[in-house]
Structure 1
Amino acid sequence: MFVGPLCEMKWESEASRLVEPGIEVLPEGCIAHAISLTSPRDACCSTAVSTAFRSAVASDTVWNSFLPSDLESILARADRPVDFSSKKELFFRLCDKPILLDGGKMIFSLDRSSGAKCFMLSARELAITWADTDSYWRWVPEPDSRFSEVAELLSVCWLEIRGHFKCKMLSSKTTYAAYLIFKLSDRAYGLGHPLQEASVELGTESSTSVVCLQSSDMYAHMHARRSRVWFRRGLHWRRRVLTVNESQEADDEAKEAAGRVPQLRNDGWMEIELGEFYNCGEEDKDVHVSLLEVKGGHWKIGLIIEGIEIRPKK
């Protein structure tokens, strides 16, 4: 049977009415609720789907779900009021501009991709051995720091830095890592050898590693050990070449710290990972973080500590 142009047009019109409508026809509240069950990163990506999604993503329903449930009590501890016109603006305000808490003792922010809570303890809130002895450490203002003062190492042969966080401060069911935030002065010395011991403990679980705060000092020391050392014979100093075992020991020590060397941050400070842990949500436990070099008796100079930061492990 012949089907003319008019019949074809009629068939196309009927078929178009049989096509199922897209998700865009759902109420904006339904779309917003669905997006709120994802993550901040997914929410931002979903704006490319349609104008309906872009509108839904802007709603407070979405961003309120990404904000911590105890945010109100955290903001009550802020040194300055946090202004915002929407929950979305508040979320990104806390991601991009961390806030000071408790009289400048701590910094709080949010992880942009997950919304997990991040905290940083100031150097004043850490337990630093001999930090109040003027001949070993001094407390000074630092223009690049968000805290009012930082700890600068003058000279010690016993480096011991400890801090702790309450698990209830952090986001549950999240893997975190702890980082020492620091700088090195122009006269920094002795922070590359011996290597430092870092650890993170949560209950009976612990993560221990060897780190190097000053990689240039470490490699200079290794180079000197590989080439020659001085020894005394009578009244004269002589040089000798390292034995095969001594050279191998130097190589092994360098390799041991290869994965844990400082990384430069966008804010001009350096950071080094001290360890990681999984926070399952047991609020009554503490996270203990430490950095030690107490065995060698070697003098160290020029470490500037801003604090210890805990944030989600990427």
Structure 2
Amino acid sequence: MFDESDNCYDLIEVEGIEFRPLEKVEHKDENQTISDSDAYCEEKFPTDYEDIMKWSTDIMQWTTKNEAYSIIRKGFLIDDGEKWFSLDKNGKKCHMLSAAYIESWNEDQLSLSGSRFKEATLLSLSRFTIHCGIRSNLLSPQTTYATYLVYKYLPENQSRFEGPVEVSETFGSDHNHWYIYLVSPTTPVIRPNANQNTHNPVYRPKIKGIPQQRNDGWMEVQIWEFQTAATIEMIHMNLQLTPCGATRFVGLVIQGFEVRPI
């Protein structure tokens, strides 16, 4: 069934095939209702929110904490427009890195509606690397974060991305790797316990590395996960993404990499 020369499929045991609809990720609603209580906003604000808002690429003005909270919840561009900062509903810090942090040798820049950044990146290569440092003041302490690749592809290019993609991480002498998908595959069935209802989404196993449709029109897939300490230091992300087999990332459009709490 599989070509023995393709080492991506070594030692894979398939128990069955499950068909299910593509889930939509609950992406932040830009028009969500926000409490008008300054006390509520004070509770959700990080202590350094005023300093954070000074990072904005644009000049921002507010007269009440509620107005400031509304701005920071929706998010804004920082660092010369290459990052997007916001808070989640629990007051945890979130941000998004633009595709400018991709290290590659063959790419084009596109201006697309619906992108948070001025330009997205159109790839045409066999692999690419993400190498950057995330400043401690962009993260909340003692929090588990996931990093998501935010991307699009034209429908006629879908078949190019149906195979697994290897994600490898190098940190000092340590080297780890795992696999993700850019197009949802048919997945192995994981048998539940006898008393679980398999038709209830609550009991359906969550599989990392499987893409989801965002409600802003883009796709996303988790590519990395990390935990912050009580005292946060610089977080270094050094990942390489390589498609298995002879395929290439031709026609893949990347908006950026979103970092948010799990």
Q: TM-score, normalised by structure 1?
A: 0.58
User: How far apart are 1:73 and its partner, in Å?
Assistant: 1.9
User: How far apart are 1:175 and its partner, in Å?
Assistant: 1.3
- RMSD between superposed Cα atoms in Å: 3.0
Q: Spell out, residue by residue over 1:83-117, the C-alpha distance to the aligned partner (whole angstroms, 9 max, x if none).
A: 3332133223322x2101122111000001x1011
Pairing partner for 1:179 from 148, 158, 172: 148
Segments of structure 1 that go 5 or more residues without pairing to the other structure are: 1-56, 131-135, 220-256
Aligned to 1:280: 229
Is the Cα contact below 8 Å between 2:166 and 2:243 reproduced in 1? no
1:98 pairs with 2:47: no
Q: Spell out, residue by residue over 1:57-83, the C-alpha distance to the aligned partner (whole angstroms, 9 max, x if none).
A: 855344223211222222111122333
1:198 pairs with 2:167: yes
Aligned to 1:83: 61
Q: Spell out, residue by residue over 1:9-51, the C-alpha distance to the aligned partner (whole angstroms, 9 max, x if none).
A: xxxxxxxxxxxxxxxxxxxxxxxxxxxxxxxxxxxxxxxxxxx
Pairing partner for 1:116 from 87, 92, 102: 92
User: How far apart are 1:282 and its partner, in Å?
Assistant: 3.4
Aligned to 1:151: 121
User: 1:150 is matched by which residue type in structure 2?
Assistant: A
Q: Spell out, residue by residue over 1:252-276, the C-alpha distance to the aligned partner (whole angstroms, 9 max, x if none).
A: xxxxx96422111111111111132
Aligned to 2:104: 129
Change (3 A) 1:64 1:166: same
User: How far apart are 1:146 and its partner, in Å?
Assistant: 1.5
The total of aligned residue pairs comes to 208
User: How far apart are 1:137 and its partner, in Å?
Assistant: 1.5
Is the Cα contact below 8 Å between 2:127 and 2:242 reproduced in 1? yes
Change (3 A) 1:305 1:69: same
1:211 pairs with 2:180: yes
Pairing partner for 2:129 from 160, 171, 177: 160
Change (3 A) 1:205 1:58: farther
Aligned to 2:219: 270
264-273 or 202-211, which deviates more:
202-211
Segments of structure 2 that go 5 or more residues without pairing to the other structure are: 1-34, 187-205
Distance in 2, Cα, partners of 1:288 & 1:280: 16
Distance in 1, Cα, partners of 2:52 & 2:76: 10
Q: TM-score, normalised by structure 2?
A: 0.69
Is the Cα contact below 8 Å between 1:168 and 1:282 reproduced in 2? no
Change (3 A) 1:272 1:163: farther
Q: Rg bigger for which structure?
A: 1
1:312 pairs with 2:246: no
Is the Cα contact below 8 Å between 1:163 and 1:308 reproduced in 2? no
Matches within 5 A, 1:235-246: none
Report the identity percentage: 31
Change (3 A) 1:160 1:201: closer
Aligned to 1:222: none
Distance in 2, Cα, partners of 1:202 & 1:82: 39
More helix by share: 1
